[in-house]
Structure 1
Amino acid sequence: MVFAAYFGTGGAQDAFVAAFKIPNFLRRLFAEGAFNQAFIPVLTEVRHAEGDASVRTLVTAVQIHLAALVGLVTLIAVLASPILAWVFAPGFHTDPAKLGLVADFLKLTFPYLWFISLTALASSVLNSYGQFAAPALTPIILNLCLIGSALFLAPQFEVGQTGLALGVLIAGLLQWLFLWPALLKTGVWSPLSWTTTHPGVKKILILMVPALFGVSVSQINLLLDTVLASFLEDGSISWLYYSDRLTELPLGVIGIAIATVLLPRLATLHAGRDALLFDRTLAWAIRLVLLIGLPAMVALVLLPSELLTLLFQYKNFSSLDVERSALSLAAYALGLPAFMLIKILAPAFFARQDTRTPVRIGIQAMVWNMAFNLMLILPLAHAGLALATSMSAWLNAGLLAWHLRQEGRFPQWPMLGPTILRALVASAVMATLLWAMTRSAALTMPDDFLGRAEVVALLVVAGLVSYSLTLLLVGVRPKDIKHP
C-alpha cells in the first residue's frame, strides 16, 4: 500500500521491482527452496540416528559452505550488475537510464541474498526442533524496513527507490540477527564454531542440486514473467507485482505456513517408517489448503478491482493502474489452489529424500509456461503472462499428484474426496452471491478509504458467511481439518 501510494507504477518503480525480484528469486531458490527441502530431511535423519552432537557439527559445516558459496555468487553479481540487468530486464535496453537504475539497485539489493540464506539455515534448524514462531516473524522485519525506507530513506535520494533498495539490505542483516537468540537456545549452533566436514554436507548438496528446480518452478515462472514484461508498456512489471502481492497473501499465510510445518513432520514420519500417518498427514494438509484456497481463488477472481481500489488507489496509483492490475490479479488467482498444492505435494517427495521427481516435473512445467507465455502475451499482454503462470502451476500440481499416486503415496479418495466436493459446492454458492452483489447498482466504490472499506467489508463478510454456512450444511465438520 505504501509503495502504491508513494511510487505508483512506471519507469523507476519497474526498475526497482526488477532489481528486487532477482535476489528474491535466488533467495527462494537457494534458501527457502532447494536448501530448505534438502537440509531438513538430512538434519532430521542425523538427529534421529546420531543425536544433537552430530547435528551441531552438521549445522556448523553447512553454514560455512553456504556462506562461502552464496558470498561468491553475491560478489560476482554485484560486480556484474549491468550484465544481470540486461539479462533479466532485456526489454529495458532501449532505455539506458532505466537499465542503469536496475544495475544501481542490484548493487544494494543483491547482498540481501547472503543474509537471507543464513537466515534460511537458522529457520530450518529451528523448524526441525519444533520452533516456528521466530522464523515466522522474520518476514515482518523485511516489510517494516521497506515501509520505513519508503517513508524516511526514499526522500533523501534523488531517485526515491534507491532508499527502498537500501532498506532491503538493512532488512537482510536484521532478519539474520533476529534469529540468533532462538538459535543459541537450541544448543546446536554457535556463531564462533568452525567445522567444515560432516558426511551430511555432501548428502545435502546431492539432494539440493536437483531441488533447485523442484519447489521453485513457480518462482522461475514469475521471474520469466518479469523478463517478458520488460518488453511491454511502462507499468507492466509493477502491475504484475501489485497483483502478485494479493495472490501471495493467502499463499503465504496458509500455503507456505502449512508447508513449513509439514516438511519436518513428514520427514520425521518417514524416518520412523509410519506410512499410514504419513498419508493421513498429507491428506490433512491437502484438505486444509483447498478448503481455504478455493474460496480465496473465487474472491480474487470476482473482486480484483474492489480489493485493489481499497488497498492501492491513492496518490500515485491511478484508476488505470487498478484496471490493469485487476486483469493480472484475476489471472494469477486462477492458479492459487495449484500454487498451494505444489507447496504441499513437493514436501511429500523431499521428506523421502526424492528430489529428482519434482525436478523432472518442474522442468516440464517451466517449458510449458514459456510456451503458454508466447501464446498469450500478444493477445493479453501482461495478463497473459499471469494466466500462463497459473496454467503451468496446475500442470505442475497435477503431475506431482499423479506421480505420488503411482508410487502409492497419494492419499486415498475417502481421505480427500468428500471434503473437496463440499468445498467446491460452498465455493460455487459464495461465487453466485458475490457475483450478484457486485452487479448491484447500490454497491459502488466511494472515493474515501472508509467508504471503500465498508463496501469491501460487506463483500468479505457476505462471502465468509455464505461459504461457512454452506460447508456446515453439506457436512464439513471441525474434525475434517483437525490434524490426525
Structure 2
Amino acid sequence: MNLYRAIGSIGGLTMVSRVLGFARDMVGSRILGASHANDAFNLAFLLPNIFRRLFAEGAFSSGFVPLFSRRLAAGGHEDAEAFSNEILSVFMPALLVVTLLFEILMPGVLWLVVPDYADTPGKFDLAVELTRWTFPYLLFISVVALLSGILNSLTRFAIAAFAPALLNIALIVALLVAPPDKVEVVRYMALAVLAGGLLQFALCWVAVRKAGVKLRFGRPRMTPAVKELVVLILPATVAAGVYQISQLFYAYFSARLGEGALSMLSYADRLNQLPLSIIGTALGVAILPAISQAIAREDAGEASDVQARAFDLSMLLTLPATLALAVAAGPIIGALYQGGEFSVEDARVTGNILAILVTGLPAYVLVKVLTPAFYARKDVKTPVRIAMAVLAGGVIANFALIPLIGIYSLALVTSAGAWINFGLLFVILYLRGHFRMPGWLVARVSKQLLAALCMAASIYAIKLAAHDYFFGGVLERVVALGALVGIGGIVYFAVAWMIGGMDRQAIAALGRKKVQD
C-alpha cells in the first residue's frame, strides 16, 4: 500500500466534506448567531453523533476491520461476505432498539444533560423536538460505518471518505430554503441531518455491492463470528462510552455557561477537527488494515515501519496546521464566522477557545496513529484503560477549573488530556517493543518543527499587516485568508524540503506514479 496515495485519497475527499462543512457553518453562524436556537440544534446534532462514535466508528471499526481483513486473507471473498452479513443481522436490530428507547425517553435524557435549557423559554422543548428528528441519523450512519469498514478493508477508500459530504450538502440546502425564522431554520436543519444519513447509507450500500459484497438483513444469530467481534469491541465500547459521557458533560457545562456557549465551542472545535479528520482519521483508516496484515504474516518489522511512516507523515501535516491555527485563531474565526447575528465578541471568544484547543492537535492525531498498533494485535483493553483514566480525570478537572476560567476550561482540559493519552500509549508500545522511534524519524520531526516555526513567524507577520482585512468585506476576507494559507504553506513546505523535513523520494515516486496514471 502506498501510504501517501492512500492518505491523499482519504484526506482529499475528507477535505471536500470539511470545506462544505465550513460553508454550512459560515451561512449558519450569520443566520443563527450564538442563539438559543443554534445551541438547541448543536445539541440535537451532538447526541446522535455521540452514539455513532460509541457504536460505530470507534470501537466497532477498530474490531471489524482486522477481523474482516483476516477472513478476506484466509477464507477469501465469500468468507468475508458471510462474516459481514452475520454482523449486520445483529448490528441493525440493536441500533433499532437503542433508537426507539431514546425517542421515547428523550425529554428525560435532555433533562439530565442540559437542565439549564429550561431557564430559557422554549429552548428545552425545541431541543427535545430537534433531537427526536436527528436521532434516527444514528441508524443510517452506523450502518455506513460497517459499509465503510468493508470498503476500507478492500482498499477502496474514496466512497467512504466522500460520503460525509452528502450530509453537509443537505444542511446547506436546508439553510438556503428555510424561512427567515431561527426556530424554523433549525427545524429544517434537523430534517436535513436525517436526509443526509439516508443519502450516505444509499451511496455506501451501492458501492459495497459494486465491490462484489452482497449484504442482506437476515435473522439475528449469535454466531461464533459475532461473539468474537463482541468480545473484541466490548472493552473499546466501554472506553468510548466513558469518552462520550465526557462529551455529555461538555454539553452540560456549556449549558451552565450561558446562551451561545455550545455554539461557540462547536465552531472552534470544527476548525480543530479539520486537520484531525483529514490527517489523523485518514491515517488511522489507512494503516489499520496494513498493520493487521503485517501482523498476520508475523512481520513485526513491516508493522513497525508502517507506524513510523504514519508518524512521520502525520507530523509533517499536523505541525503547520497547529501553529497556524494557534497564531492566527482570532483572525481566522473572524474571517469565517463574524457577521450578521455572530458578533465581534462571539468571534473573539471563539478564537480564544480555538487557540487553546489546537495546542493538543498533534497529540489528537498521534493517538489515531498509535491506537491501530493495539487494535491490530487484538488488544483493545490497554487503550480503554488509558482513555477511562484520562477522560475521568478531565471531567473532574472541568468541575474544578470552570469556576476559575469559565468556557476556556473545556478547551484546556481537552488539549491536556490528549497529550497524556498519547504519552501513555507511546510509552506502553515502547516498553512492549512494538514501536521505536528510529533515528531518521526523530531527526525528521525535529526538522518539521523548525520549518513550522519559520511558517509561524511568517503567519504572525501577515496577521499584523492584514488584520483589518480579516474583518472586512467578503473579498478582503478571501484575500487575507488566501495570503495566510498560501504564504504560510509555501514557507513551511519550502523550508521542510530544503532541510530534509519530508521524504523526498516518496513524494517524487508519488509524482511519477501520477504521471504514469
Give TM class, smaller chain.
over 0.9
Residue 370 of structure 2 is aligned to residue 349 of structure 1? no
Counterpart of 1:196 in structure 2 is 221
Counterpart of 1:385 in structure 2 is 410
Residue 22 of structure 2 is aligned to residue 23 of structure 1? no
Counterpart of 1:89 in structure 2 is 114
Deviations 1:207-254 (A, max 9, x none): 111112546876654443222111002111000000111111111111
Amino acid at match of 1:171: G
> Structure 1 residues 266, 35: CA separation in 2 closer, same or farther (over 3 Å shift)?
same
Stretch of structure 1 that moved more, 230-239 or 435-444: 435-444
Deviation at 1:445, TM superposition (A): 3.2
Counterpart of 1:167 in structure 2 is 192
CA separation in 2, counterparts of 1:164 and 1:40? Answer: 33
Alpha carbons 2:250, 2:410 under 8 Å: kept: yes
Amino acid at match of 2:204: L
Deviation at 1:87, TM superposition (A): 1.9
Structure 2 residue matching 1:205: 3-state secondary structure: helix
Counterpart of 1:3 in structure 2 is 28
Counterpart of 1:232 in structure 2 is 257
- The structure 2 residue matched to 1:280, chosen from 278, 290, 305, is 305
CA separation in 1, counterparts of 2:35 and 2:323? Answer: 29
Amino acid at match of 2:446: L
Alpha carbons 1:141, 1:171 under 8 Å: kept: yes
Within a 5 Å distance, the mapping from 1:405-424 to structure 2 comes to 405-424=430-449
Deviations 1:43-71 (A, max 9, x none): 11222222222222211111111101111
CA separation in 1, counterparts of 2:75 and 2:323? Answer: 48
- The structure 2 residue matched to 1:186, chosen from 180, 189, 211, is 211
Structure 2 residue matching 1:388: 3-state secondary structure: helix
Structure 1 residue matching 2:122: 3-state secondary structure: helix
CA separation in 2, counterparts of 1:84 and 1:481? Answer: 51
Q: Percent identity?
A: 34
Deviation at 1:13, TM superposition (A): 0.7
Residue 260 of structure 2 is aligned to residue 260 of structure 1? no
CA separation in 1, counterparts of 2:118 and 2:241? Answer: 28
Counterpart of 2:461 in structure 1 is 436
Residue 38 of structure 2 is aligned to residue 13 of structure 1? yes
Within a 5 Å distance, the mapping from 1:1-400 to structure 2 comes to 1-95=26-120, 97-153=122-178, 159-191=184-216, 196=221, 198-214=223-239, 221-400=246-425
Deviations 1:16-38 (A, max 9, x none): 10111011111112111111011
Deviations 1:270-289 (A, max 9, x none): 11111111001001111111
Deviation at 1:117, TM superposition (A): 0.7
> Structure 1 residues 374, 480: CA separation in 2 closer, same or farther (over 3 Å shift)?
farther
CA separation in 2, counterparts of 1:257 and 1:137? Answer: 12
Structure 1 residue matching 2:216: 3-state secondary structure: coil
Note the aligned Cα RMSD (angstroms).
2.1
Deviation at 1:79, TM superposition (A): 0.4
CA separation in 2, counterparts of 1:199 and 1:111? Answer: 29
CA separation in 2, counterparts of 1:219 and 1:106? Answer: 17
Alpha carbons 1:214, 1:355 under 8 Å: kept: no
Structure 1 residue matching 2:341: 3-state secondary structure: coil
CA separation in 1, counterparts of 2:194 and 2:180? Answer: 17
CA separation in 1, counterparts of 2:340 and 2:296? Answer: 55
Deviation at 1:293, TM superposition (A): 1.0
Structure 2 residue matching 1:445: 3-state secondary structure: helix
CA separation in 2, counterparts of 1:271 and 1:340? Answer: 25
CA separation in 1, counterparts of 2:181 and 2:403? Answer: 40
CA separation in 2, counterparts of 1:251 and 1:219? Answer: 18
> Structure 1 residues 217, 76: CA separation in 2 closer, same or farther (over 3 Å shift)?
closer
Alpha carbons 2:178, 2:184 under 8 Å: kept: no
CA separation in 1, counterparts of 2:182 and 2:465? Answer: 46
Amino acid at match of 1:281: V
TM-score between the two structures when normalised by the length of structure 2: 0.89
Residue 490 of structure 2 is aligned to residue 465 of structure 1? yes
Structure 1 residue matching 2:501: 3-state secondary structure: coil
CA separation in 2, counterparts of 1:111 and 1:371? Answer: 32
> Structure 1 residues 80, 342: CA separation in 2 closer, same or farther (over 3 Å shift)?
same
Amino acid at match of 2:371: A
Deviations 1:145-194 (A, max 9, x none): 11111222455995321111111111111110111221112333233655
Q: Which runs of 5+ in 2 are unaligned?
A: 1-25, 511-517
Amino acid at match of 1:390: S
> Structure 1 residues 281, 479: CA separation in 2 closer, same or farther (over 3 Å shift)?
farther
